[in-house]
Structures are given as C-alpha cells and as structure tokens.
Amino acid sequence: MLQPSETGPVEAGRETRSTTLEHATDPAAAPATDTGGLASLFEVDPGARGARDVGQRHATLRPRELERPPLVLRLVSGASKAVLMVALLWGLFFNFSEVRGSSMRPGIQDGDRILVDHVSYMFEDVARGDIVVLRYPLDPTVDYVKRVVGLPGEHIEIFRGQVWIDGARVEEDYVAEENLDPWAVVDTVVEPGHYFVLGDNRLRSSDSRDFGQVAEVYLRGKVRARLWPAARVGLIH
C-alpha cells in the first residue's frame, strides 16, 4: 500500500488511484476498476470543454479585422468616390460651351469657353441683363448666346441705336458704341412667359429683332464665367 506523503495532504485524485491499485488483485476485474480510476484521473469537466469549444468557435468567427486595407488605401478610395460624385453632379448642373461667332463682342468673343449654369433658374427668376444660352426658336437643335433685355409684360422700343423700356432709356455699358445699330426699329410688348433678347454686338447679331421673342422653355441656362482663354478667365456680367 502506498503511503501518503509525510510533507502534506494527498490530492484527491492521487488518493483514489492508490486505493484502486491496492485492491486490483483479480486480473479480470482490473480493467473495470482501473477504468474507473483512470476516468477519475483524466475526466474533463463537460462545462469547461463546452466553454472551450464555444470560445474556439467564436475565435474562428471573429471579423477579420487584421485583413482590412491600409488607412492610406481607404482614404484614397474614399476621395476617389467623392471626386466621382462631384463630377457627376457638376455634369448635371453645369456644362462647358464653346462660343462660335462675334454677336456678343466685346464681352464674349469667338472661341471663348464659357461655363453655363443650368440650375439657377429653378430657384430664381430671369433678370434683365442676364446672359443666357437658349435654343434658337427656328431650330431648337442650335444654341445661341444672348442677353436678356425685355421681361414679360414690358414695352420695348428700339430706335437710333438705343433701347427704351416702358418709356425709359436703358443704359447699356456692355455695348460698345461702334457696335450700335442705328437703323434697327422695334416697337413691341413682351408676351407672358417670353423674353426679348439681343446680342451685345448689335451690328452682327441675329436676335429677337429677327426671330422674335423667346419662350421661357427655350432658356437652357445662365452664363456664369469664361474659362478660356487663360488671359481672360473670369466672371461674365
């Protein structure tokens, strides 16, 4: 018989094993008895095993955070998406156009690249003096650039190169004196929902003096700025 250690108490598992070995004299009975002893020695708490298995499954199913792209790549990706969104919105609200002809000299000249705003007139009224891109009433597939001079309901008169609205002469500092047309004569009232437009170069412009008043639905947008040539970049008034 194995004796307990003199230095202190014997652990429960080892004490059980000592008792079993002492009584295992029958070889046929030994396996059954020993099985119980070994089960006691190597038994694993089911609760502990279950917790360990759950922990392993959770560890396997954790998000793969370590495989996320580097911060720099994520920032570049986000910036690219933002630029693309801005470009799409810009394309919806604005567009660039190239001017052909000299009917708006000296402010806008042949070959100028202009920025056209398609949104403003959704929120504000057309004003006298606005430079607009419009569909040519006689051929809506063609765009013209003109200046709004007469508003709905106004009485427009033109003679001796001067424009009169409701009996008052209009100051037009955007028209060069050499571009005035002293032979044009107009006397008309602007219809509701229409505008009277003129080119700043009156001697070289086809406008409401020729093709009549322009319906509001033909106005495509307001000219905001000149983007080319570089020496003349700026806002257009």
Please say if 146 is a catalytic residue.
Answer: yes
In this structure, are residues 222 and 116 in contact, taking their beta carbons and an 8 Å threshold? yes
Q: Which amino acid is at 153?
A: G
In this structure, are residues 157 and 203 in contact, taking their beta carbons and an 8 Å threshold? no
Q: How many CA atoms lie within 13 A of 182 on its CB side?
A: 2
* Residue written as token pair 């412009």: 205
Catalytic residue selected from 5, 81, 146, 205: 146
In this structure, are residues 155 and 113 in contact, taking their beta carbons and an 8 Å threshold? no
Catalytic residue selected from 102, 103, 205, 208: 103
Please say if 5 is a catalytic residue.
Answer: no
Which pair of tokens denotes residue 170?
A: 């209009």
Catalytic residue IDs = 103, 146
